A and B are shown apart, each in its own frame.
Chain A
Amino acid sequence: MINISNISKSYNGQEVLKVEDLNIPKGQNFGLVGNNGAGKTTLFSLLLDLIKPTTGEITNGDIVVNQSEEWKPYTSAFIDESFLIGYLTPEEYFYFIGDLRGVDQSEVNDLLANFEDFFHDEILNQKKYLRDLSKGNQKKVGIVAALIGNPEVIILDEPFANLDPTTQIRLKKILNELTQQNQTTVLISSHDLMHVTDVCKRIVVLEKGEVVKDIKTTPATLKELEAYFSQ
């Protein structure tokens, strides 16, 4: 589904990312781990064509992301708070995203009904603007908004950060269900090794902008990752 070839990104001559070849097949639950500054967010930003690659190209579906915008209808993402519109209520925000993705209000409502547990009565009907929600609740809104319109590719940067334990467990369930039919490709990044190994079928470790490990998840993976990061 996603094909990264020879991609690199430099700022002022300093290379922050260099990935020669990375292929993510359709329906895979893909995890990206790495310490701060390893290039996770840079890679996601390149995938979403928010920054310009210094060399190489990324294809999503069959579309080169920085040459056409045709990948947008089937791709969605939540990277950080700049994906939220602060002066809207959560409902208004969901409907707006629905409008953009051609999903009407009643369909959005149907989708939201599935996430009642996940929202834990703190999101809907709160009469609050998004800018006034807590970080964790903002994140919940962003993640669920990224699921509107049945996207084929979902990109979530650090989805577990700032969430309470109950919500983390619920999120893992949601992410697992998403890829069950092998239709949706999910890309997440995380600092929490346990969560990633629970959720992802494949884990790639980035260090200083380069791929240093590419692991198919097995029961031994967590140990392996822990060993790697405690070096």
Chain B
Amino acid sequence: MIKRFVSLQWKQFRRSSYFEAALAIKILMVLGILYFGGIAILAGIGGYFILQKAIPEVDPLMSLNQYLIYWFLFDLGLRYFIQQMPVINIKPLLIIPIKRKKVVQFLLGKTMTSFFNILPLLFFIPFSITLIVKGYHPLYVTAWFFGVLSLIFLNNFTVYLINKTNIYFFLIVGLVLVFIGLQRYEIFDITAYAQVFFYGMYSNPVWILLPLLLMGLAFYANYQYYIKHFYIDGAITKKTEKVKALDLKFVDKFGNIAPFLKNDIKLILRNARPKQVLLTSFFFLFYGLFFYTFEIYRDNPAILAFASMFITGGFLLTFGQLVPSWDSEYYKLMMSQNIPYREYLKSKLVLMVFAVTVSTILSLPYLYFGWDIYKLILAGASFNIGLNSFITLYGGALNRVPVELNVKAKAFQNTNGFNLTQLLISIPKILGPIVIFFIPYYFISFDAGIITLALSGLLGLIFQNQFLNLIENIYQKQKYKTIAAFDEKK
């Protein structure tokens, strides 16, 4: 029976559209998987020596165990964001004589083969081997490894239990931030306590019973849940949601573009995929923490210019690159109605500009890093509003990948917004702010760079009509191609 399921799933995978995607995309996907896998393996092999060098006075295994708690929480957060219960088409299975238990067991078993479980293994297996080679006790290392393995699967099952609401996600993120904060200011160091447990799995293997037990519980809870909900209106298939009434009267002020704007706001608030984009763009705000704190970056204004564009550009980039794909599900309607492309585009533009403005306000705390940094962020925001918005919309028009609105994007299973055109169009997005800032900075001064970057945004406002014409032209020229592409079965 299991063999049958496997064969069904294999066909579903093999015959799905992303597998039949263009060769270039396939190559990119394989490269992506090889890249991450390769990094994990290299880190696994070299990890021991890196830790030894970084913290020479402490046993490398101790150092690793000290920080595993963060990996554990981070992994859970990441899974929360991307990992989804595989949807199996249960309707045909309900009426044929297969035990429900079997299907659910298979379904849960299948989740264990997810990329999220394999990636850490690629790190921990070589790391454990290195440990044994380095003379750690093979039995204890094996025990520790199985402890970590159970933790991986504990996360795997936990995420299905908690991902029904967003509260837990923010709880996890909050927890990590609080821990880091407390540790940074030396009030309370969670890693010291976590280390007792994680290192305990090596020094005293009884400890691994704890993650094993928890993993078993999580599996059982999932099992019970899905057995109970094994009906076509249950958990595994999609469910109907309650309508969220929205009062969008204030949007009417925008005149001609109001009907589109109202639709776009509903699009973002009522569909899984755009909500995910919203969350992603929120994380873009934190890019600065990375770039502004490391000295190698801090002393390189070109990199800083790029980072400053990123901080306020999260929504603009992630949402904008999928215009008009967001409307792919009903593109035929749009094309048979009397829709002025300009108003359609302007509505998206308004949303993007609004998002940049909000991000600029939210990035006020970066004033902590100095007025110069914040000036750079402001200039970056101006570049985003004026130029980047049009570049992104231009790229989106060439994109033509259908988007399933109410389905979350999956890691390495979703080629949406990831193709060669997208790659090419991202070059001016990334290099643009760097070049515009760096040339006057290099020849004149820091302030000159900032002023030029800020003025580049003005350019977009002046040539707004020309830019819109350009994009409109693509829409018109590629109309049939776009309709056909969006029409493809997903």
Q: Residues on A close to B: CB < 8 A?
A: 48-52, 69, 72-73, 75-77, 79-80, 82-89, 92, 96-97, 99-101, 127-129, 131-132
Contacts and interface: CB of A to CB of B under 8 A. Distances in A.
Interface stretch (B119-127, B182-190, B324-332, B449-457): B324-332
B466 interface: no
A89 B243 contact: yes
B405 interface: yes
Contact of B480 (A51, A77, A87, A132): A51
Contacts of B204: none
A177 to B, nearest CB: 24
B488 to A, nearest CB: 12
Interface residues of B, number: 29
Contacts of A85: 263, 329-330, 333
A99 B242 CA distance: 25
Contacts of A75: 336
B338 A77 contact: no
B338 A86 contact: no
B338 A96 contact: no
B265 to A, nearest CB: 11
B259 A96 contact: yes
B335 interface: yes
Most buried by A among B258, B330, B406: B330
A72 B243 contact: no
B339 A100 contact: yes
Most buried by B among A73, A79, A97, A132: A132
Contacts of B88: none
Contact of B336 (A48, A88, A89): A48
A132 B238 CA distance: 10
A214 to B, nearest CB: 26
Given A86-B330, A87-B270, A88-B266, A132 B336 contact: no
A49 B480 CA distance: 8
Contacts of A48: 332, 335-336
Contacts of B480: 50-52
B243 A79 contact: no
Contacts of B113: none
Nearest to B480: A52
Nearest to A102: B338
B335 A50 contact: yes
Most buried by A among B241, B332, B335, B338: B338
Contacts of A96: 259, 262-263
B107 interface: no
Contact of B338 (A73, A79, A82, A129): A73
Nearest to B258: A99
A92 to B, nearest CB: 7
B464 interface: no
Interface string B398-438: 00000001100000000000000000000000000000000
